[in-house]
Structure 1
Amino acid sequence: MTGKKILMIVGDFVEDYEVMVPFQALQMVGHTVHAVCPEKKAGETVKTAVHDFEGDQTYSEKPGHNFQLNATFDEVVADNYDALVIPGGRAPEYIRLNEKVLEITRHFASTNKPIASICHGLQVLAAAGVLEGKSCTAYPACGPDVTRAGGLYTHIPPDEAMVDGNLVTAPAWPAHPKWLAAFLNVLGTKIEHQEMAAV
């Protein structure tokens, strides 16, 4: 398997698990992941937020880690990447105001490259106008954004994921096992399991 080059767009108060887990897991299986944030450079950090489900009407939010970026946003050339990942958290509500973020997102959609988005990340896809006719899911509070953008929002359990062509979506981080497995499948990543010889 030849590793893919994946772009991950994040921002301050990105959800902690939704940036950390895919960033590490995708590298673990041999892909290159460049994490970038508008107006920040490689070596700088974004603050993450931990979103948890504790019986309230919506998620609670707590401070997470400082996540270090490993590439510079202003140097991104979308053509150089094979796939796009947009995590959730509070970052999507403001990074979607950056026109280059939207242009990058439109590039991946128009070229039919794999896009994985989770939770509030769908706010970026909605703002970029790339959800028309696409079946997808998101954090339920983002459902109206998806629908207004022409997407076919589907409410599914928080630990499930959806695939529509090149687009892989999930409601929240409990879906990581299925969301990442589906994204790897869309990427064409093959993972082989070998039987251990008895000692």
Structure 2
Amino acid sequence: MTAPPPAARPRRTAHALVLALSVYALDQVTKVLAVAHLEPGVRRPLLGEVLQLHLIRNPGAAFSFATGATWVFTAVALAVVVAVLVLARRLRSTGWAAALGFLLAGAAGNLTDRLLRQPGFARGHVVDFLELPSWPVFNVADASICCAAVLIAVMTLRGVGLDGSREQRGARAAGEGSRA
């Protein structure tokens, strides 16, 4: 039995948006709880030494990179949110719906912090509170972005398009050989 053509597959936009809204809500609720119940800089074991709660405010990107460029990360997060919303209309792949849902949730979660938290609009610091051994402190939005990155890599390596179509391996190899 052959797979239906991409146009015959149902759209997966709603799947992406439901996932994004769910993860976004989890991110925002956990950040509110972290700010309300954790003391900045004080570690509290959640799963012994494996996972600890450690509240920090991060003005930069992952690993506190470029802490003086908060407005750049605000603009990038906004661009990612817009791009995902535009791409989501073409979704007919469940894998891509999950990937873009996670990406949208993560970008929107951290964008909300940058827009609404201190020290001010578009310069706000992201609330991070989860810490693994030998790993920077992060939040649910950051974990969501990492999930998105893994899914995007898997879908790309499998040759699956946003519309659910599959790239033929031979066609890809032939196309690469002709460009050399």
Q: Same fold (TM over 0.5)?
A: no
Identify which of structures 1 and 2 has the higher relative contact order when contacts are C-alpha pairs closer than 8 Å and 6+ apart. Answer: 2
Point out the structure with the larger strand share.
1
With the length of structure 2 as denominator, give the TM-score of the two structures.
0.23
With the length of structure 1 as denominator, give the TM-score of the two structures.
0.22
Larger-Rg structure: 2
Point out the structure with the larger helix share.
2
